[in-house]
Structure 1
Amino acid sequence: MTDLTGKVALITGAGQGIGQGVALAMAGAGAAVVVTGRTLAKVEETARLVRERGGKALPIACDVKSATDLAETVEATVAGFGGLDILVNNAQEVPLGKLEEVTDEAFLAGFESGPLATHRLMKLARPHLAARGGGTIFNFCSSAGIRWDMTGYGCYAAVKQAIRSLTRAAAAEWGGEGIRVLTIAPHAESPGLKWWIENNPEEAKAFFRTIPLGRVGTLEGDIGRALVALSGQDLAYLTGATIPLDGGQANFD
């Protein structure tokens, strides 16, 4: 089991779903976790769960579309725990729908909460990661970006594919500082995926038939624990890659 004792992880969108699962997994491996989200009560609950298990957690209300919130969150992380080693850019608003249906406002919100927030937070985290001798940044994309039929997913895929490009650039530019940057493409039991399954039952049936392992991942066990392992020294030579945690469904080759 990877030991993250002494490490500090900042996780956005940690009030529920994948972000909460990652926070619980990283805290379980010994990391102090800063959990952020727009709703303070939700991240306070995540922090309570972490502390209940004996871990260290700092909950912070943060809207990733706000440059001010992002800067203050990084400052509070360093002030609270003395540094930063792992950044998990999980929070994202999703502009779903056919091209004619997605409004400018929804597309802009997807961009601001996705690639722009990712770009901003990576830059804010970089000097603190470098000061600790390096660290790991996790960004999130989706297999929607490589669907053969993009109907209804064009805007969502566009913002997610932009994040993959940022990952590749950051890995290339900051590798000399010991900073590794990876993109994660998960299928997990998140509220968003559950909503999609409930509202698209026929497409969901077809979706499950395309997953070789026949299920979506658990939040803490399958997704969170994988990020813990990817943060450790055993995988320290891996950077710039897209890692599909999806039961074998997508082909990112």
Structure 2
Amino acid sequence: MLQGKVALITGAGQGIGQGIALALASEGVDIILAGRTLEKLAQTAQLVAERGARALPIACNVKSADDLAAAVDLAVRDLGGIDILVNNAQEVPLGPLVDVSDDAFMAGFESGPLASFRLMKLARPHMVARGGGTIFNFTSSAGIRWDMATYGAYGAVKQATRALTRAAASEWGRDNIRVLTIAPHAESPGLKGWMEHNPEEAEAFFRTIPLGRVGRLEQDIGRAIVALCGSDLAYLTGATIPLDGGQANFG
């Protein structure tokens, strides 16, 4: 179904980005692996190759407009275009508002909604040339918590991303470009580390997830992305999709 498609994934060296890369590779999707650490990207590229797909790693700081343009140029020059864009990378500004510095807030904004905004615009003409495409932006239930304490800056940048998704879905739908926001819980290195160091809080966290577990990177998050790229869900756009075991209520 996705054989011959090309994806560009940011933050592809580990965690959710890697899980999505492996799931797409299993469907015959060739992938540009963008991330800050080439060694990690090389490991993902090897796993992608074992699934029979091509993978090209590129060092990319998503806060750099030049790096983003270079990643898109690589996809077009060496793989023929872009059909799937996964805006996964994000720096996380956490803490009480009085403790979050301007620099930390700006890093969250530049790596999140601004990077997604830039990459969406860069990818759009190449998707149009190939008859359409699918864009995935990432948000968090942190933006809709009843208690926003310590999550204000992070929630703000993630809610901005949701607004961009809605706008792009509205403006680009006639080009057959679908734009979706994903809100995942997954076994990323960061979350696993937090659970190991905060066992009591982690136990309370699990109690708030109806399915009682955190999502698996490839099987739960990656395979969902595969399904959302497919023709069976071709009428879905502009939505926020929580892949979180039923925890959040986005309304």
Provide TM-score, normalisation by structure 2.
Answer: 0.98
Identical aligned residues as a percent: 75
Aligned counterpart, 2:104? 106
* 1:96-245 correspondence to structure 2 within 5 Å: 96-245=94-243
**Using the alignment, how far apart are the partners of 1:100 and 1:209 within structure 2?**
30
* 1:18-97 correspondence to structure 2 within 5 Å: 18-97=16-95
What code does the residue aligned with 1:220 have?
E
What code does the residue aligned with 1:202 have?
E
What is the CA deviation profile of residues 178-222 of structure 1, one whole-angstrom value per residue up to 9, with x for unaligned ones? 000000000000012113323443332221101110000000000
Aligned counterpart, 1:247? 245
Deviation at 1:73, TM superposition (A): 0.7
Instruction: Tell me the C-alpha RMSD between the 2 structures.
Output: 0.9
Structure 1 stretches lacking a partner, 5+ long: none
What is the CA deviation profile of residues 82-119 of structure 1, one whole-angstrom value per residue up to 9, with x for unaligned ones? 11100000000000111111111111100000000000
8 A Cα contact 2:28 2:52, kept in partner: no
**Using the alignment, how far apart are the partners of 2:53 and 2:168 within structure 1?**
30
Question: What SS does the corresponding residue of 2:7 show, helix, strand or coil?
Answer: strand
Structure 2 stretches lacking a partner, 5+ long: none
**Using the alignment, how far apart are the partners of 1:128 and 1:216 within structure 2?**
35
Provide TM-score, normalisation by structure 1.
Answer: 0.97
**Using the alignment, how far apart are the partners of 2:208 and 2:168 within structure 1?**
32
Q: Aligned pairs, how many?
A: 251
**Using the alignment, how far apart are the partners of 2:198 and 2:107 within structure 1?**
23
What code does the residue aligned with 1:86 have?
I
**Using the alignment, how far apart are the partners of 2:205 and 2:107 within structure 1?**
27
What code does the residue aligned with 2:230 have?
G
Deviation at 1:6, TM superposition (A): 1.0
